[in-house]
Amino acid sequence: MRGWWRVLGLTMVIAATGVSDMPAASVGIPNCDGARMLADLLAAQQRGDNVPDERFAELMASPRFLAAAESGDVVAAYELVGRSIQKRDQIEAVRWLRQAAEHGHPDAQRELGKRYMSGQVVPQDYVEAARWYGRAAHQGNIETFGALAALHSLGRGVPQDFVEAHKWYDLAATHLDRPGFPLSAQDRDKLAAKMTPAQVAEAQRRAAAWRPVQEPSPCPEVLRRILNPQN
């Protein structure tokens, strides 16, 4: 599959499957024009139509798509992150990441948190890293659980809190079953050795009670409905 926009677009489809139903047009929310235009091109591909890569590039550069991204269409804003990276414009990429993150895109929130954690393009800032990782984690972005746990464990960007750290390590160990992530269980168990039994029990209670809460963001749902009208 060629073209960075196709990868990002399909990622958005996957991410959108968990978004609750909400109207596409309402006071105070974006019109989702970017999501609709992107979905139309992706739907044409699904039907087997020949859609040249240039069509996607033209779409990303169109005033209507850019206006949608500026207005809070997270589908459009997140797609423009990839376009900016392709142009080797990391400052512009961060601008679109922030736009998407502020309007609830969990992958953008994770990536912005990662940049603040490492000081990539933006100044290193653990407070900002914890804020963006936290927003993404609370939406269920499992790849942020371990990083958020580490920040709580070390007291970087947030007050040191072993109970919260244990909770996030526990959730990471439970939800991440890919190679390399067993380290979350090891980190959790090492941390437990520094905690009282009551603290461990409270952390386990919080982990068991945790449920993701998605931030309102209608445009991924618009994209999903166009590409998967039967679902």
Higher pLDDT, 26 or 185: 185
pLDDT for the residue numbered 150: 97
Mean of per-residue pLDDT scores for the chain: 87
Residue 12 banded pLDDT, cuts 50, 70, 90:
very low
pLDDT for the residue numbered 6: 41
- The 10s digit of each residue's pLDDT in 198-217 is 999 999 999 999 999 999 88
pLDDT for the residue numbered 71: 93
Q: How distant, in Å, are the alpha carbons of 9, 16, 113, 128, 153 from that of 75?
A: 8, 10, 19, 23, 34
Residue with tokens 């999501």: 35
pLDDT for the residue numbered 17: 36
Residue 175 banded pLDDT, cuts 50, 70, 90:
confident
Q: Which of these ranges, 93-102, 135-144, 166-175, 180-189, has the smallest mean pLDDT?
A: 180-189
C-beta separation of 151 from 129 below 8 A: yes
- The 10s digit of each residue's pLDDT in 103-117 is 999 999 999 999 999
Residue 29 banded pLDDT, cuts 50, 70, 90:
low
Residue 183 banded pLDDT, cuts 50, 70, 90:
confident
Residue 22 banded pLDDT, cuts 50, 70, 90:
very low
Within a 10 A sphere around the Cβ of 40, how many other Cβ atoms? 13
Average confidence (pLDDT) over 56-76: 95
Rounded Cα gap, residues 7 and 56, in angstroms: 12
